Amino acid sequence: MATSLIVFDLDGTLVDTAPDLVATLNTILGREDLPPVAYDAARNMVGGGARMMLDLGFRAAGRTLLPAALDQMTRDFIDHYAAHIADNSLPFEGVAPTLDNLAAAGFRLAVCTNKLEWLSLRLLDALSLAKHFSAICGADTFGIAKPNPEILHRTIARADARGGGTVMVGDSRTDIATARAAQIPIIAVDFGYTDVPVSSLAPDRIISRFADLPAAISGLIDAR
């Protein structure tokens, strides 16, 4: 069956969000008189979400937060991040023209992310990318997060794939695990947020430039 839908992860796949997420983490740490986390060290914390970033950031400073304190810090993080969501975050090179090319070729496009849906919409709107997607679904959309494959299945249904096949595009072990559990082919970018090389996670294809995505999709379709 021909592929008709491409489902993208957001952070580390479509958009380089690390600058604003790391800045938010260090703002919260600064409020507690703790030292900032170096950007290179904090970048790969991004894939775990705000709560995990905070937990790791405080642990790096020698502090462990109790659950109630971590809950409050997470709310503070989201409030600050929402106000600064696109200060320095940008689409990765080639994203917008590649999305245009895929749409022109007849593909429908969707986003499946563990970011909150309203934050995802705010970010994509700020970067003029939201218009490309038939569905933008976050961890709160269905109350399900990756790697549970149900979030991907429901994103596909919301995007109205019209009976065609689906390919997922992501950057991390979570994306690859989600696609595998959903029995959907996965293309990984090698410039995102991951604690191990994506090649070690055995995605179906790996790309180093967004401009190479259409060819990678074609290769997967031809291999079926």
Would you name the residues annotated as active-site residues?
9
Q: Which two tokens stand for residue 212?
A: 């190479």
Three-state DSSP state, 39: helix
The span from the CA of 141 to the CA of 81, in Å, is 19
Which structure tokens are listed for 47? 């894939």
**Distance of alpha carbon 136 from its chain centroid, rounded?**
11
Cα distances (Å, whole numbers) of residue 207 to 136, 150, 170, 219: 23, 26, 10, 12
> DSSP letters along 8-35, please?
E--BTTTEE-HHHHHHHHHHHHHHTT-P
182 exposed, middle or buried (CB, 10 Å; 0-12, 13-18, 19+)?
buried
| Alpha carbon distance 204, 135 (integer Å) | 24
